[in-house]
Amino acid sequence: MNYRMVLQYDGSRYDGWQKQGNTGNTIQGKLEAVLSRFAGESVEVNGAGRTDAGVHAYGQTASFHLKQEAEEEELWKYLNRYLPEDIEVLGVERAPERFHARLSAVRKTYMYKVGLDSRKHVFDRKYLYHFEGELDIKAMEEAARYLRGTHDFKSFCSNRRFKKSTIRTLHMIKIDLDKKTDVMKIIFIGDGFLYHMVRIITGTLLEVGQGKRSPSEIKGIIEAKDREAAGFTAPPQGLTLVSVEYE
Q: Which residue numbers are catalytic?
A: 52
Report the b/e string of 176-209 with b at 16+ CB within 10 A: ebeeeeebbbbebbbebbbebbbbbbbbbbbbbb
Contacts 24+ apart (CB under 8 A), 119-127: 119/182, 121/183, 124/183, 125/237, 126/10, 126/12, 126/237, 127/56, 127/237, 127/238, 127/240
Q: Phi and psi (nearest 5°) for 26? A: -125, 160
From CA 160, how far away is CA 194, in angstroms rounded?
A: 11
Q: Whats the size of the chain, residue-wise?
A: 247
CB atoms within 10 A of CB 44: 13
Element (H, E) at 168: strand 167-178
Burial of 231 per CB tally in 10 Å (0-12, 13-18, 19+)? buried
